[in-house]
Structure 1
């Protein structure tokens, strides 16, 4: 079984790329129609995360976003600490 790690948490994914690729593409395409009931714009990032397992360019962008988000959280955490 494949997995993707985001912010230190592991999320399981289907092990076969023959399942992951159609699933990721379906989520991205379905997310484009997010204005319709049941479908939502939340599907696009989820589909991209699933596709990032198999495609290096998407994986690099996901990793850059993850590093940026972690640094941002650290800065906010440091700024919220009371001065000693």
Structure 2
């Protein structure tokens, strides 16, 4: 696990605890803030997982990663110069 995944999981857990506290005290502000924090944590954790998978793919298949990068660069270049 990398930094983003760990931080994301931590934010998710804190958000769920804050949401539970809001439910317990019937405080909509804490409940909403907890839900938002939990959602942000899930997004950050998923981002970390995508980066981890991309890193593993690049290490295992460097030629394939280079071909993908070249294709993306070519397509972006063609779209930009088309104007």
For the criterion TM > 0.5, the same-fold answer is no
**Higher RCO (CA-CA < 8 Å; seq separation 6+):** 2
- Computing the radius of gyration from Cα coordinates, the structure with the larger value is 2
TM bucket by the smaller chain? 0.3 to 0.5
